Structure 1
Amino acid sequence: MKHRILHSVNLRDRLADYAPKLGVSLPELTTAFDWMCAHNVAFEEVGRGGVTNSYIAYVNIEPRIEHPLARRFYALLRDEIPVGFVPLYGINWPTLVDRWRRAWEQVYNMLINKIPSHNVRLAWLRMGGAKIGKGSTVWRNTEVIGVDGLQIGEDSCVGWHCQLDARAGLRIGNHVTIASHSIVIAGGHDLNAPEFWAFGAPIAIEDYAWITTRVILLPGAHIGEGAVVAANTVVSKPVEAYTIVGGQGAKVLGQRVRGLNYKVGGKGLFTLLH
């Protein structure tokens, strides 16, 4: 497999839903999808629980896809993933935009994230393509990679010295707390590929979830509404809503009270210099 990003699971089973969108028959689309899998445009990999993880090329190779229907299907699948794809580098506009975004986030990580002003830091992230809701904040010295793939809802707080890797998509809901020194990694590399191909899978953290200190979320992690991840836990799988997990393998430790209605308040006067 080459550079790839997770689109969904069991995509082949849902080709019948895509055929009408493309104005073709199911056998035609199935043939096109088989061609995509044979030519490094789409990839299938058996994951946990017997599901098939369905990936597509992370580099935007649409202009190079020779099969007409495969080209259209790839473009449709690509546009369903809310992140910026790596362009085919060259002297072109997509390359310029990509280089500008990467430079913009490097300036943020080296300089802007140390400025003791919520407004300045959030404005810089938003201008780089991040979507950040009202009342939310990212505290000082937290690094962001893939700024244009970052989505944060309202009244959520990311603490000090965190790392947010949003290159494959990172969606944080409302009233979420991510404690200091936590790491969210939406991408990695294929250990079975001699070429060290990159892969990515989006991460989602739902409303009222609490990610405690020094937690590591790996590609594909999905933290349910109101769930709690205990300190020093590594998570690479879905966590059910209102479930408390921790320790090796992110084992279930208990259940959290429901009916949560608090506000995080990460931009209050007390946190002025954060």
Structure 2
Amino acid sequence: MKNIDWDFLKKDMTFIILNCLVNRIPCWKIRKKFYERFGMKIGKGARIGLYTIIITPQKIELGERSIINHSCFLDGSGKVIIENDVSISCFTKIISCTHSTRSEIFEYKANPIWIKNNVWIATGAIILDNSLIEEKAIIGSGSIFKGKAESNCIYYGNPSKKIKARKLNKNYRIDFNPYFR
């Protein structure tokens, strides 16, 4: 019998439990307990919608009142920090790992993603590894973003480009508290 790679097996089982069972539980409070049990840090008033796929939860931090809407994809392999009052719309992908295009052995690389306060990431956007999104920035629907987004600016496209400045002086609070979803 071959040697079993227990670390790999543990990662696989975590993936299956979270993404085939837990993410389908209709009650948020129950899902939250599971996510925290698997090492995810979740701030007060934060929410993660149904059917969201989560990889490496122990390297994901979700700030207070931040919302991950349904059917998103969060890969914490390289570390993902989402601060307070962030809105991440449905079908968004946050991917903190890649492979080296110069490697002859398909080298795996994990790099952090940091999303600061009051950011809005619109429907279907993709945020790639090594990205920093400053406060109050917006990443438009369907955009593919990698790099640094300036504070109070709107980015859109593939690849994302700065479209214009956003005039927003105050921070806002997101209060979205559905019991189910």
Higher strand share: 2
Secondary structure, aligned partner of 2:109:
strand
Q: Aligned pair 1:110/2:20, yes or no?
A: yes
Amino acid at match of 2:57: V
Report sequence identity in percent: 26
**How many Å separate the matches in 2 of 1:265 and 1:99?**
38
Higher helix share: 1
The structure-2 alpha-carbon separation of the partners of 1:160 and 1:243, relative to structure 1 and needing over 3 Å to count, comes to same
Unaligned runs of 5+ in 1: 1-89
The answer (yes or no) to whether the contact 2:137–2:149 under 8 Å persists in 1 is yes
Question: Any runs of at least 4 consecutive aligned residues in structure 1 with deviations exceeding 3 A, and if so which?
Answer: 95-102
Unaligned runs of 5+ in 2: none
Secondary structure, aligned partner of 2:35:
helix
**How many Å separate the matches in 1 of 2:8 and 2:33?**
19
**How many Å separate the matches in 1 of 2:12 and 2:117?**
29
Report how far residue 197 of structure 1 moved. 1.1
1:248 aligns with 158
**How many Å separate the matches in 2 of 1:259 and 1:241?**
11
Secondary structure, aligned partner of 2:26:
coil
Report how far residue 142 of structure 1 moved. 0.3
**How many Å separate the matches in 1 of 2:140 and 2:16?**
30
1:195 aligns with 105
CA RMSD of aligned residues (A): 1.7
Q: Aligned pair 1:272/2:179, yes or no?
A: yes
Count of residues paired in the alignment: 179
Instruction: Identify the match of residue 177 of structure 1 among 61, 83, 87.
Output: 87
Say which structure, 1 or 2, has more relative contact order (CA 8 Å, 6+ apart): 2
> For residues 1-274 of structure 1, what are the structure 2 equivalents within 5 Å?
96=6, 99-266=9-176, 268=177, 271-274=178-181
**How many Å separate the matches in 1 of 2:113 and 2:171?**
24
The structure-2 alpha-carbon separation of the partners of 1:107 and 1:228, relative to structure 1 and needing over 3 Å to count, comes to same
Secondary structure, aligned partner of 1:111:
helix
Which is higher, the Rg of structure 1 or of structure 2? 1
The answer (yes or no) to whether the contact 1:101–1:128 under 8 Å persists in 2 is no
